[in-house]
């Protein structure tokens, strides 16, 4: 057995950041345990190939949900990254910080110290943005670029949003998140800039970070209520590693599963699975949330979409150019324009996100329209539905059971219907008139609430953003102390990944996860960056009375945001978790 200062379980986005930041002190010995293998593959490095690693057993755990009771019993696909870089090696590379109000909401939910003004410096520390902006960082490990936006459909979509009365955003990651505008991606030199590339490899190069791959962590080893190491299986052996600190960074599905297999979680559930209870911690595995999305697809009447490039010959040309030059259509994720809007009056900041794509195809690449088309991936960002992650009581070593209870709250239906109807209104604007043909999905005959609801049940998909299963807070259901990242009731054990988020952010989750790990690394080291002197929080001044505005100009402070959340809860029936 070897002994380490830190044992990090999981080499996903958060684990890579921790290895890099904690390993800067080369006197510290760090072990990173990863169940998957190496991430070095062309299909991972090439941005436009993003759907391929997502559909392989090498890079994807291949999880599925339990039958979802509010979606007519559908079993939903739940890709999770497996291998160095975790989900940052198979995701869509969309670089979205979220709305500043997200972090005000975290603080409102009990995550002390996680306000916008305290997290902004960590966003700036992690990024190397090509766009210059008031709130951007330019020296960090994650390279952030924009696409060339050569396709006319991108500009048409943004103009259509402005024509519909929404704000224009010069950059959703700078002063104004709300509105229509360009999207950014974590791509460097035409290649995916994953957490493994940006953080883990530089950490390993120092010599004090050891990474063990194809190693499945079976449990956290405890003495009484103190974590003293981990046990993992590798090459038909069970190996024990001892550490002064164990940091669980296995993601929102596996972090609660590892805790539960270690006897830390809801006592009654553990007993059902035959696990001796080390610490009865009821919140472990609860509060599971996700982002759902629909594809609203339109026929394109002009031959400007990406459809011709989807043939074998077209893909070969893209691939060859990328291999030779690292540019062209292979060097982008194709999500080069997007938007964040509010579903209705009385919602203070965006709860709907659009990813625009100049092609009509499913996210996993398995279905393609038979001609030129375009679409938005549209979905709500603050669903009130909550689910769980639990061990399989028949065999606790099997993949955990996962049920999101998607669409179990009435407001979720109201907001998803708004996604469809607001998208149709945007696509009907003059800017899209030169391109918009017939509606491919849901279809022109899908108009009533009942029809739209059935379309949602049949076609809604996960946006692959699970979070919340070991959330920060101070109430009885909280799992992690937000000021230390320590698991309540167990010494020497911390959790750092998206599972600790009290609420999903208004956008893709990878960048908030990187930020979270950046700040958590400082909390572990007992330090912190200074609070940002300039950290504006922009909200529509008439959010209570209108659903959209061309001008987002109300700059808030912490007292203002707390009052807004109180008013919003009164108007909408609550925005808190259950």
DSSP 292-318: EEEEEEEEESSTTSSGGGGSHHHHHHH
Write out the E strands in 85-225. Answer: 94-95, 127-129, 142-146, 179-182, 184-185, 187-188, 191-192, 209-212, 216-223
Domain ranges of the chain: 3-525
At CA 25, angle to CA 24 and CA 27, rounded to 5?
140
Q: Is 534 exposed, middle or buried (0-12, 13-18, 19+ CB in 10 A)?
A: exposed
Nearest to 495 by CA among 471, 473, 531: 471
- Plot region of 328 (φ>0 → left; ψ -120 to 50 → alpha; else → beta): left
Nearest to 8 by CA among 230, 247, 209, 227: 247
The one catalytic residue in 279, 340, 355, 465 is 465
Give pLDDT, residue 505.
Answer: 97
> Taking residues 199-208, what's their average pLDDT?
98
Nearest to 143 by CA among 187, 181, 174: 187
> Taking residues 148-163, what's their average pLDDT?
97
- Please provide residue 31's backbone torsions phi and psi, each rounded to the nearest 5 degrees: -115, 130
Give pLDDT, residue 578.
Answer: 43
> Taking residues 456-463, what's their average pLDDT?
96
> Taking residues 153-174, what's their average pLDDT?
98
Query: Is there a contact between 121 and 530 (Cβ–Cβ < 8 Å)?
Result: yes
At CA 576, angle to CA 575 and CA 578, rounded to 5?
125
Query: Tens digits of per-residue pLDDT, 557-577?
Result: 878 999 999 999 888 776 554
Give pLDDT, residue 577.
Answer: 47
Nearest to 341 by CA among 501, 190, 193, 158: 158
- How many Cβ atoms from other residues are within 10 Å of residue 551's Cβ? 13
Query: Is there a contact between 27 and 41 (Cβ–Cβ < 8 Å)?
Result: no
Architecture in CATH for domain 3-525: 3-Layer(bba) Sandwich (3.50)
Q: What average pLDDT is seen over the chain?
A: 95
- Return d(Cα 510, Cα 553) in angstroms, integer: 27
Give pLDDT, residue 364.
Answer: 65
Is the pTM higher than 0.85? yes
- Return d(Cα 457, Cα 454) in angstroms, integer: 5
- Return d(Cα 33, Cα 355) in angstroms, integer: 34
465 counts as catalytic:
yes
């Amino acid at each position: 057995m070897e002994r380490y200062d830190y044992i990090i379980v999981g080499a996903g986005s958060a684990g890579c950041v921790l290895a890099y930041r904690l390993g800067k002190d080369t006197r510290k010995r760090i072990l990173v345990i990863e169940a998957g293998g190496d991430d070095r593959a062309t299909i991972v490095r090439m941005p436009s190939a993003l759907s391929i690693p997502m559909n392989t057993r090498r890079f994807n755990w291949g999880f599925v949900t339990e039958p979802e009771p509010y979606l007519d019993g559908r079993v939903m696909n739940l890709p999770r990254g497996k291998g160095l870089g975790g989900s940052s090696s198979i995701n869509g590379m969309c670089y979205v910080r979220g709305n500043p109000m997200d972090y005000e909401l975290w603080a409102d939910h009990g995550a002390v110290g996680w306000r916008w003004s305290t997290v902004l410096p960590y966003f700036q520390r992690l990024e190397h943005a090509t766009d210059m902006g008031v709130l951007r960082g330019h020296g960090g490990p994650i390279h952030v670029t924009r696409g060339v936006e050569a396709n006319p459909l991108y500009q048409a979509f943004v103009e259509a949003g402005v024509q519909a009365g929404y704000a224009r955003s010069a950059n959703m990651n700078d002063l104004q998140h709300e509105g229509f505008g360009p999207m950014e991606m974590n791509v460097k030199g035409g290649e995916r800039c994953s957490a493994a590339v940006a953080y883990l490899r530089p950490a390993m190069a120092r010599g004090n970070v050891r990474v063990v791959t194809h190693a499945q962590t079976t449990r956290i080893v405890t003495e009484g209520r103190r974590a003293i190491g981990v046990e993992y299986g590798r090459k038909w052996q069970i190996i024990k590693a001892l550490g002064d600190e164990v940091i669980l960074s296995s993601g929102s599905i596996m972090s609660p599963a590892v805790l539960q297999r270690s006897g830390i979680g809801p006592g009654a559930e553990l007993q059902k699975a035959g696990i001796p209870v080390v610490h009865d911690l009821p919140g472990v595995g609860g509060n599971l949330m996700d982002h759902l999305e629909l594809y609203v697809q339109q026929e394109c009447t002009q031959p400007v979409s990406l459809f011709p490039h989807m043939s074998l010959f077209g893909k070969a040309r893209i691939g060859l150019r990328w291999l030779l030059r690292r540019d062209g259509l292979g060097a982008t994720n194709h999500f080069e324009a997007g938007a964040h809007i509010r579903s209705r009056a009385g919602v203070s900041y965006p709860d709907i996100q659009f990813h625009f794509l100049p092609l009509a195809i499913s996210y996993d690449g398995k279905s393609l329209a038979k001609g030129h088309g375009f679409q938005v991936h549209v979905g709500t960002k603050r669903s009130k539905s909550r689910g769980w992650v639990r061990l399989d009581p028949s065999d606790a070593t099997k993949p955990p059971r996962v049920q999101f209870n998607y669409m179990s709250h009435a407001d979720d239906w109201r907001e998803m219907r708004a996604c469809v109807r607001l998208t149709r209104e945007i696509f009907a604007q003059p800017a899209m008139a030169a391109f918009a043909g017939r509606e491919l999905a849901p279809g022109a005959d899908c108009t009533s609430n009942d029809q739209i609801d059935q379309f949602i049940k049949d076609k809604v998909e996960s946006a692959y953003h699970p979070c919340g299963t070991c959330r920060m807070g101070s109430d009885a259901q909280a799992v992690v102390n937000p000021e230390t990242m320590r698991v309540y009731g167990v010494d020497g054990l911390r959790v750092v990944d998206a599972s600790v988020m009290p609420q999903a952010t208004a956008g893709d989750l990878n960048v908030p996860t990187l930020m979270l790990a950046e700040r958590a690394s400082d909390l572990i080291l007992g330090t912190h960056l200074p609070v940002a002197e300039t950290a504006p929080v922009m909200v529509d001044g008439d959010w209570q009375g209108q659903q959209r505005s061309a001008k987002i100009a109300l700059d808030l402070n912490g007292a203002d945001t707390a009052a807004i959340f109180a008013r919003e809860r009164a108007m909408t029936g609550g925005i808190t978790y259950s």
